[in-house]
Amino acid sequence: MKEIVLDTETTGLSVENGHRIVEIGCIELEDQILTSNRFHCYLNPQRKVSEEAFKVHGYSDEFLSDKKKFSEIADDFIKFIGDKKLIIHNAQFDLSHLNNELKLLGKKPILKDQVIDTLDIAREKFPGSQISLDALCKRFRIDNSKRKLHTALIDCELLSKVYINLIDQKEPKLDFSEIKDDSFTNKNSSIDFCKNVIKPSLNELKEHQNFLKKSLKKNYF
């Protein structure tokens, strides 16, 4: 299953105050594994960046002045996300800005049922705890040292790791449904399988569990 981890940066908080998107970042997951497919662009918002937003992402009016407008990348963006599930942290914010941009172009909005909000998942799993992206990175021991400012692609990379931890999918899924080798199931197979199973000792099991607790999550990312 393919999913898209998505993040945006904007000129300010509210579309009601005329704020626009200045950056879109998307990375693709397939069965919770990062692929090489990405979508990223900086955008000319055709308005000034608020002082508060500049402190968050550092994109100045001058830097954005020669970038493409949303109307120039809209079709490519829509094609990239398609009908895949969108993984977003605090989806209400990003969705309001994306749908505002799409509305200005007379295009269909992104529906809520296409979105998985990791903020909602974290709120349910860790009630009463801090659930910002930085807080979740700390909880799952994910290195976020590159996140000096909020940038869409870095945030997407961090969010993909947070998402995998939130849904408890630490290892790739293996699908054997398409294996057509009858030697695994054919009772008449001439292959002589060894039936003697060597079981680990209780001490070996205990040491293995300790290793998993200390090392697996840290080393996976």
DSSP strand pairing (115-117 vs 21-30): unpaired
- Whether 150 sits among the annotated catalytic residues: the reply is yes
Instruction: Please tell me the chain's helix, strand, coil percentages from 3-state DSSP, rounded to the nearest 5.
Output: 45, 15, 40
Q: What pairs with residue 34 in β-bridges?
A: 29
19, 57, 89, 150: the active-site residue: 150
The tokens 């999913």 sit on which residue?
Answer: 3
d(CA 76, CA 115): 19
Quick one: how far is CA 154 from the chain centroid? 10
Reduced to 3 states, what is the DSSP secondary structure of residue 33? strand
d(CA 53, CA 168): 33
Reduced to 3 states, what is the DSSP secondary structure of residue 175? coil
Residues contacting residue 54 through CB under 8 Å, at least 6 positions apart: 60
Q: Which two tokens stand for residue 6?
A: 């998505």
Instruction: Give catalytic residues, as residue numbers.
Output: 150
